[in-house]
Amino acid sequence: MPKNRSPVQAHVRASSDLYGLHAVRALLERHPERVGAVYLAERRDDVRIQRIEQLARAAGRPVRRLEAQALRQRLGAVAHQGVLAEIEPLPPWDEQQLITALEGASAPLLLALDGVQDPHNLGACLRSADACGVLAVVVPRDRAAHLTPVARKVAAGAAETTPLVVVTNLARTLQRLKQAGLWVIGADADGPARADEVDLSGPRVLVLGAEGAGLRQLTRQNCDYRVRLPQLGAVESLNVSVAAGMLLYEAVRQRRS
């Protein structure tokens, strides 16, 4: 082994790295079988770090202490919070896996992101999707954010519980979902109806576009309804992850009532 390699680099790497206190703890609590080695900063021993170490050891996962510099060498300049886990990530679904999952679902709720390229926004949308019982999040293969360590950290564990469906052609996928009985609801600042005026309680796909550009024309054409979120302030548009959370929770409100 070359002398200039750190212990964390020398270890056989798993499929992906997950970092951040909440994200690592959530995966250890929900799916410990997908966690490999856990690395903790040598000089951190607060309650949250102790909890992660307890969970890892209870699951029989190796725990190793590292200097902060070794963590930086592996992860780069990110806010790792002194914790890193090697994980087997939840594999992305393809379109056929999504259609198969719909067959056994009652009033499924999907979230589709049309051209959202910021991994922070993807992670935040996954987190809201998990909280609202979304079956899966759909993104196009090209010109869109996919799962990176940054997106996984922002998702705080949701990237390991809510499948990401990567499709070649989003418009064609929306057409297929409509054939499967789902209504497609597009978020549009100029939508003719408010979100609370449209029925979101049945099988639905909620579609949001990138900030600024919004929904692409082909995506817009495949929407059964276009809805707007009421805004009372001076800001012209909402962050896409905020808008996704608001629309998802409107769907949850309608489903609960």
Give the start-to-end residue ranges of the domains of the chain.
7-87, 95-256
Rounded to 5 degrees, φ, ψ at 33 are -65, -15
pLDDT > 90? residue 132 = yes
Q: What is the pLDDT of residue 216?
A: 92
CATH 3.40.1280.10 fits 95-256, yes or no: yes
Q: Which residues sit opposite 158 in a β-bridge? A: none
pLDDT at 232: 59
Q: How many angstroms separate the CA atoms of 59 and 254, rounded? A: 39
pLDDT tens-place string over residues 57-74: 999 999 999 988 888 888
- pLDDT tens per residue across span 65-119: 998 888 888 877 777 888 999 988 888 899 999 999 998 888 999 999 998 999 9
Give the confidence band of 136 by pLDDT, cuts at 50, 70, 90.
very high
pLDDT tens by residue, 171-221:
999 999 999 999 999 999 888 999 999 999 999 999 999 877 789 999 999
CATH of domain 7-87: 3.30.1330.30
4 versus 46: the higher-pLDDT residue is 46
DSSP per-residue string spanning the chain: --TT--HHHHSPP-SEEEESHHHHHHHHHH-GGGEEEEEEETT--SHHHHHHHHHHHHTT--EEEE-HHHHHHHH-SS--TTEEEEE-PPPPB-HHHHHHHHHT-SS-EEEEEES---HHHHHHHHHHHHHTT-SEEEEESSSS----HHHHHHHTTGGGTSPEEEES-HHHHHHHHHHTT-EEEEE-TT-SEEGGGS--SSSEEEEEEBTTTBS-HHHHHT-SEEEE----SS-S---HHHHHHHHHHHHHHHHH-
Tell me the C-alpha to C-alpha distance, in Å, between residue 83 and each of 42, 61, 65: 10, 14, 9
pLDDT digits (tens, 9 = 90+) for 114-131: 989 999 999 999 999 999
Rounded Cα gap, residues 141 and 147, in angstroms: 11
- Which residue, 183, 187, 249, is CA-closest to 213? 187
For the chain, percent of residues with pLDDT exceeding 70: 91
Which position has the higher pLDDT, 5 or 129?
129
Cα angle 134-135-136, degrees, rounded to a multiple of 5: 95
Give the whole-angstrom CA distance, residue 231 versus residue 212: 16
Q: How far apart are CA 83 and CA 19, in angstroms?
A: 6
Same topology between domain 7-87 and domain 95-256: no
Burial class, 24, CB count within 10 angstroms (exposed 0-12 / middle 13-18 / buried 19+): buried
Confidence class for position 233, pLDDT limits 50, 70, 90: low
Distance of CA 233 to the CA centre of its chain: 28
> What pLDDT score was predicted for residue 22?
84
What average pLDDT does the segment 130-142 reach? 94
pLDDT at res. 14? 40
